[in-house]
Amino acid sequence: MRWPVLPAALLLLLMFAVPAWACLPGFEAATTLTGNGQSLSFRSDPAPMPLGKPFALEIAICPPPRGLAVDAHMPAHRHGMNYRPSIRDLGGGRYRAEGLMLHMPGAWEFVFDIEGGAGRARLTSAYTVR
């Protein structure tokens, strides 16, 4: 009588595992952040992020949000980038933010503002450029 329980348990496991698998970013992410029911992975293009040169961020968010804003600032200096990035929605929770530039060396913080099903989430990631 134990045998029918095993297939049912496997089916239940797959029901919860498949949505998580379907939400994987599909690229080797340099950084993954989570908060308020959202998971965000990103990597830079080119990698590593250059000093004083434009670069882009490839971003994947699970579950796909309704909106996304990306910025970077230097907390110790109390200023941000000299440029505002443009964000392109690639569909399925994937985005490409272009036109970012870290114009001076030091400690930076990336800020991702996500408008999702559970409300707003602000996820941050520290990065030092040399």
Q: What is the CATH number of the domain that holds 97?
A: 2.60.40.1930
What integer pLDDT is reported at residue 23 of this predicted model? 64
Question: Hey, how many other C-beta atoms are within 10 angstroms of the C-beta on 90?
Answer: 12
pLDDT at residue number 124: 97
pLDDT at site 25: 62
> Residue 107's domain spans which residues?
27-129
Whether 9 is covered by a domain: the verdict is no
Residue 68 CB partners (closer than 8 Å, separation 6+): 59, 61, 87, 89, 95, 112, 113, 114, 115
pTM, entire model = 0.80
In this prediction, what percent of the chain has a pLDDT beyond 90?
70
Amino acid at site 98: E
Task: Please report the pLDDT score of residue 7 as a whole number.
Answer: 54
Q: Could you give the number of structural domains in the chain?
A: 1
> 36 or 7: which carries more pLDDT confidence?
36
Q: Is residue 112 part of a domain?
A: yes
Residue 14 lies in a domain: no
**Structural domain includes residue 44:** yes
More confident residue, 52 or 30: 52
Residue 49 phi/psi, 5° resolution? -60, 130
Predicted confidence band of residue 42 (pLDDT cuts 50, 70, 90): very high
Q: Looking at per-residue confidence, does 16 or 5 come out higher?
A: 5
**Is residue 1 assigned to a domain?**
no
40-62: average pLDDT? 95
Does the residue 10 lie in any domain? no
Q: Does 7 fall in a domain?
A: no
In a domain, 99, yes or no: yes
pLDDT at 28: 75
Q: For residue 4, is pLDDT > 90? A: no
